[in-house]
Amino acid sequence: MTDQVDPSREPAAAPATEPRAAPPASAASEAPVSTPAWERAALEKLAFASLHEQRLARRWRTFVRLAWLGFFVFVAWVALGRSGPSSDVSAPHTAVVEIRGEIASDTEASAELLVAALRSAFEDEGAQAVVMLINSPGGSPVQAGIINDEILRLKVKHGKPVYAVVEETCASAAYYIAVAADKIFVDKASIVGSIGVLMDGFGFTGLMDKLGVERRLMTAGENKGFLDPFSPQTERQRVYAQSMLNQIHKQFIDVVKAGRGDRLKETPETFSGLFWSGQQAVALGLADQYGSLDYVAREVVKAEDLIDYTRRDNVAERLVKRFGAALGEGSVRAIRSTPMVR
């Protein structure tokens, strides 16, 4: 017979689940041990400090590179353009060329720089006249002769008047240049003149004899040791040097007479090498009248606007010259220090 289920009977309850036991202490010890907080903080500080130092080093390297790049760009920019006005035609003005300091080939008053400035001034159609602003004690007669000849040529070519304005001093080679101007303006207290030539040196022969020092100079050529300061000067050498000075002096005198013409009131002391004040120079015909740069531009040229055409050595050229001089000196020292076979 089939058993029948009594609906009145309740189903048997499920057996109660027993609570799980806690893991043993050995299992807990096998789990990874967490790093203490202070060690983690120290590692983070070291890492951030290293990153900060690397970042600063990169920034500093970038700054140095940019600084050098800017320096070379500046040098190239200065080297490509000399100080001087542009070649564009300008408004009516008075062109100014400064002649300052010693007149020599390695100064800012060299023939190379002054001739270039004068050409720019004459070629500018806006320049109504060219004014040479002079403050120089003189210098090389060769440089002065080149400048004087170029002024005369440019005057004929462009037909512009040239004036010389003396500030403090216009002596010797500076006056050689000034006489090429149509008029010379001075201040009452300016120093003008010194029309002469000199060749200076020294001699140590007497002192060497007292000290018992012998000069051993060997030359191939009778006059190769001419004007050697450690050798006695012969009468023949003295006469020859004096004749050469007299010849250059004669050239100077001819240039002054040609430039000043009938305005020059010649006296026995005119070409003796003396210099005079501006007031005396006007009286002697060495200068024409009193006047400053502004006076000449305003009253004579009738163009008060001034434009400076003076050429000067730029920064790049000075660096190159200094570098070249230092390199040459180092080469000479290296050659001298080279052992020689004896």
- pLDDT computed for residue 288 by the predictor: 95
Q: What is the pLDDT of residue 27?
A: 45
Rg of the chain over all Cα atoms, to the nearest angstrom: 44
Task: Say what the pLDDT of residue 28 is.
Answer: 45
What does the alpha-carbon distance between residue 146 and residue 310 come to, in Å, rounded to a whole number? 17
pLDDT of residue 14: 46
Pairwise CA distance, residues 178 & 173, whole Å: 9
Report CA-CA distances (Å) from 223 to 205, 206, 215, 246.
18, 21, 16, 20
Give CA–CA dist 95/92, Å, rounded.
9
Query: Residue 320: its pLDDT value, please?
Result: 55
Could you say which DSSP state residue 87 is in? S
Domain ranges of the chain: 93-311
Residue 203 pLDDT: 76
Q: Which residues pair with 96 in a beta bridge?
A: 131, 308
pLDDT at 148: 96
d(CA 112, CA 110): 5
This prediction's pTM: 0.68
Beta strands in 155-301 (DSSP E): 162-171, 183-186, 191-193, 275-277, 289-290
Long-range CB contacts for residues 238-241, cutoff 8 Å, separation at least 24? 241/199
Question: Which residues contact residue 231 at a Cβ distance below 8 angstroms, ignoring those fewer than 6 apart?
Answer: 205, 215, 217, 225
CATH no. of 93-311: 3.90.226.10
- Residue 287 structure tokens: 């200068």
Predicted pLDDT of residue 340 = 37
The one-digit pLDDT tens for each residue of the chain (342 residues) are 444 445 445 444 444 445 454 455 444 444 444 556 777 788 788 888 888 888 888 888 888 888 888 888 887 776 665 444 544 557 899 999 999 999 999 899 999 999 999 999 999 999 999 999 999 999 999 999 999 999 999 999 999 999 999 999 999 999 999 999 999 999 999 999 999 998 887 777 777 777 777 777 888 888 888 878 888 788 888 899 899 999 999 999 999 999 999 999 999 999 999 999 999 999 999 999 999 999 999 999 999 999 999 998 665 555 555 555 555 555 545 544 444 333
